[in-house]
Structure 1
Amino acid sequence: MQHLDIVPRQTLKNIKPYSPGKPIWEVERELGLTRVIKLASNENPLGPSPKAVEAIKNSIPELHRYPDAGAKLASAAIASQLDLKPGQLIVTNGGDELISLVSEAFLEADDEIVIPAPSFSEYEFGAYLMGARTVPVPLTADFRYDVDAMLAAVTPRTKLMYICSPNNPTGTYLPEAGLRRILDTIPKHILVVIDSAYSYFASADDYSSGLEFVRAGYPVIVLQTFSKIFGLAGIRIGFGAAPESVIRTILKVKEPFNVNALAQAAASAAITDDEHVQASVQVNEKGREQLYKGFRELGLAYTESMGNFVLVELGPDAQSIYEQLLARGIIVRYGGTWGLGGHVRISVGLPEENDTLLVNLRAILQEQKD
Structure 2
Amino acid sequence: MKWKSQIQNLKAYQPGKTMDDVKELFNLEKVVKLASNENPFGCSKNVETFLKTNAFSHAIYPDGYAKGLRMKLSEHLSVEPGQLLFGNGSDEVIEIISRALLDGGKSTVMATPTFPQYKHNAIVEGAEIREVPLDSAGRHQLDKMLEEIDDTTSIVWLCSPNNPTGEYIRNGELVSFLDAVPSHVLVVLDEAYYEYVVAEDYYDSLELLKSYPQLMITRTFSKAYGIAGFRVGFGIGNKEVIGKLEPIREPFNNNALAQGAASAAIEDQTFIEECRSHNRKGLQQYYRFCEENDLDYIPSQANFVLINFGVSGDEVFQYLMSKGYIVRSGEALGYSHSVRVTVGSHEQNEEVIGRMKEFLALQKQV
TM, length-normalised to structure 2: 0.97
Shift of 1:62: 3.2
Between stretches 188-197 and 291-300, larger displacement belongs to 291-300
Q: Is the 8 A contact 1:44 1:228 kept in 2?
A: yes
Tell me whether 1:148 sits opposite 2:148 in the alignment: no
| Larger displacement relative to structure 2 (6-15 or 288-297) | 6-15
CA contact 2:330–2:339 (8 Å) conserved in 1:
yes
> Is 1:27 aligned to 2:42, yes or no?
no
> Does residue 39 of the first structure (1) align with residue 20 of the second (2)?
no
Which residue is 1:272 aligned to?
A: 267
Percent identical pairs in the alignment equals: 38
Distance (whole Å) between structure 2 residues aligned to residue 18 and residue 208 of structure 1: 32
Any idea what SS the aligned residue of 1:258 has? coil
Match of 1:245 among 240, 248, 252: 240
Q: Are the equivalent residues in 2 in contact too, given 1:116–1:137 (CA < 8 A)? A: yes
Aligned to 1:198: 193
Alignment of 1:64 onto 2:59: yes
SS at match of 2:202: coil
Aligned-pair CA distance for 1:338: 2.1
Distance 1:317 1:135 in 2: 27
What secondary structure is seen at the aligned counterpart in 2 of 1:62? coil
3-state SS of paired residue (2:179): helix
Kindly report which structure 2 residues correspond to 1:357-368, keeping only aligned pairs within 5 A, or say none: 357-368=352-363
| Superposition pairs of residues 171-186 of structure 1, within 5 angstroms | 171-186=166-181
Task: Give the structure 1 partner of residue 89 of structure 2.
Answer: 94
Superposed CA offset, 1:271-304 (max 9, x none): 1211110111111011001111112112211000
Distance in 2, matches of 1:217 and 1:89, equals 16
Please name the residue that 2:80 is paired with: 85
Q: Which consecutive unaligned segments of at least 5 residues does structure 2 have? A: none
Inter-partner Cα distance in structure 1 for 2:276 and 2:231: 21
Corresponding residue SS for 2:297:
strand
**Residues 67 and 259 in structure 1, CA contact (< 8 A), matched pair in contact too:** yes
Inter-partner Cα distance in structure 1 for 2:133 and 2:222:
27
* Shift of residue 209, structure 1, vs aligned partner: 5.2
2:297–2:307 Cα contact (<8 Å) kept: yes
- After the TM superposition, which of the residue ranges 312-321 and 97-106 deviates more from structure 2? 312-321
In the alignment, structure 1 residue 262 sits paired with structure 2 residue 257: yes
Q: 1:158 matched to which residue of 2? A: 153
Q: Which one of 121, 132, 139 corresponds to residue 134 of structure 2?
A: 139
Aligned partner letter, 1:89: L
Residue type at the aligned position of 1:308? N
Q: Distance in 2 between matches of 1:261 and 1:215?
A: 31
CA contact (8 A) 1:63 1:261 kept: no
> Residues 225-271 of structure 1: CA distance to partner in whole angstroms, max 9, x if unpaired?
00011001111001000001111111111111101111100111111
The residue aligned with 1:3 is none
C-alpha deviation, 1:314, in angstroms: 1.1
Cα-to-partner distance string for 1:137-178 (whole Å, 9 max, x where unaligned): 111111122121111111221100000000000000110111
Q: How far apart are residue 72 of structure 1 and its match? A: 1.1
CA distance in 2, matches of 1:134, 1:312: 28
1:332 maps to which of 289, 314, 327: 327
- Taking structure 1 as the reference length, what is the TM-score of the superposition? 0.96
1:105 matched to 2:100? The reply is yes
1:14 to partner: Cα distance: 5.1
Cα drift, residue 63 of structure 1:
3.1
The 2-side partners of 1:18 and 1:337 are apart by 12
**Is contact 1:43-1:347 (8 Å) kept?**
yes
* Contact kept? 1:74, 1:268, Cα under 8 Å: yes
8 Å contact 1:117–1:139 — kept in the other structure?
yes
2:16, 2:164 → 1: CA distance? 13
Letter of the aligned partner of 2:51 in structure 1?
Answer: I
Count of matched residue positions in the alignment of Structure 1 and Structure 2: 365
The answer to whether the 8 A contact 2:106-2:152 is kept is yes
Cα RMSD, aligned residues only: 1.3
Q: SS state of the match for residue 104, structure 1?
A: helix
Unpaired segments ≥5 residues, structure 1: 1-5
Distance of aligned partners of 1:280 and 1:115 in 2 relative to their CA distance in 1, 3 Å threshold:
same
Q: Deviation per CA, 1:33-66: give whole Å up to 9, x if none.
A: 1100111000101101211222233333333321
**Displacement after TM superposition at 1:327 (Å):** 0.6
1:309 and 2:304 aligned: yes
Query: 1: distance between equivalents of 2:25 and 2:254?
Result: 33
Task: Name the CA distance, whole Å, in 1 between partners of 2:9 and 2:209.
Answer: 33
Which amino acid is 2:342 matched to? S
CA distance in structure 2 between the aligned counterparts of 1:314 and 1:17, rounded to whole angstroms: 29
Cα 1:24–1:209, aligned 2, differ >3 Å: closer, same or farther?
A: farther
